């Protein structure tokens, strides 16, 4: 059971890193280039920057590579090849930050200003979209990701997201604790 938890965590780690890195590395040009959507509100808002997006995908790639190097030859190995760690790192990294972008798009449509919290969208959308992209490497995964696994990931992600944002606030990396 604990063993399976660890394998689940190894699998999803690139998505977590990709979702966190922009807080440290992202600033500058917003992805929507300050443009509004047809409803007159920003497409994504000023919190979604090109640098943040790129840092997430590159971060996913690196974490995938590091996991491939250090996990492949251990009992915790989850893929049938080292390359699969890199593929999944990039896919999960891209999926996570693309999902984060979708969340901001929805928040703007619901009239929420940048940085306001919105239950589920803030914590879970990035995970679900990351899993969607990650499913491209399910063939090389040595275990099957069950529906219960996805529920477990939702609970873990929700909890970790709350803790990580609170810590980022305490350490003055974010202006709000969510």
Among 14, 52, 64, 89, binds ligand CTP (CB under 6 A): 52
Choice between 6 and 46, CB closer to ligand CTP: 46
Q: Determine, following the binding rule CB under 6 A, whether residue 107 of this chain makes contact with ligand CTP.
A: yes
Q: Determine, following the binding rule CB under 6 A, whether residue 41 of this chain makes contact with ligand CTP.
A: no
Q: What residues are paired with 141 via a beta bridge?
A: 79
Q: Determine, following the binding rule CB under 6 A, whether residue 99 of this chain makes contact with ligand CTP.
A: no
155-164 own/partner pairs: CB under 8 Å, 24+ apart: 156/8, 156/9, 157/12, 157/16, 157/123, 157/124, 157/127, 158/123, 158/124, 160/16, 161/122, 161/123, 162/123, 164/20
Tokens representing 61 are 């790639």
Helix 2-25 × helix 147-170 angle, to 10°: 40
Cβ atoms of 10 and 76 closer than 8 Å: yes
135-154 residues in contact with ligand CTP (CB under 6 A) are: none
Q: Determine, following the binding rule CB under 6 A, whether residue 102 of this chain makes contact with ligand CTP.
A: no
Distance CA 154, CA 164 (A): 15
Q: Determine, following the binding rule CB under 6 A, whether residue 23 of this chain makes contact with ligand CTP.
A: yes
Binding segment for ligand CTP among 5-13, 42-50, 84-92, 135-143 (CB under 6 A)?
42-50
Tokens representing 178 are 């969510």
Among 7, 11, 43, 49, binds ligand CTP (CB under 6 A): 49
CB of 23 to ligand CTP, least distance (A): 4
Instruction: List residues near ligand CTP by CB under 6 A.
Output: 22-23, 26-27, 45, 47-49, 52-53, 97, 100, 104, 107, 114-116
């Amino acid at each position: 059971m604990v063993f399976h938890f660890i394998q689940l965590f190894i699998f999803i780690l690139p998505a977590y890193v990709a979702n966190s890195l922009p807080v440290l590395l992202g600033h500058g040009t917003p992805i929507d280039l300050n443009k509004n959507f047809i409803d007159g509100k920003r497409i994504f808002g000023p919190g979604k920057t090109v640098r943040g997006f790129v840092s997430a995908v590159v971060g996913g790639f690196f974490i995938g590579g590091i996991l491939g190097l250090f996990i492949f030859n251990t009992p915790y190995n989850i893929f049938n090849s080292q390359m699969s760690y890199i593929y999944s790192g990039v896919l999960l990294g891209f999926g996570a930050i693309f999902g984060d972008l979708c969340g901001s798009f929805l928040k703007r449509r619901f009239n929420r200003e940048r940085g306001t919290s919105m239950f589920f969208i803030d914590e879970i959308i990035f995970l679900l979209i990351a899993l969607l992209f990650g499913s491209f490497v399910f063939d090389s995964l040595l275990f099957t990701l069950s529906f219960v696994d996805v529920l477990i990931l939702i609970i873990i992600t929700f909890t970790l997201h709350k803790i990580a944002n609170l810590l980022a606030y305490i350490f003055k990396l974010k202006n709000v604790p969510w």
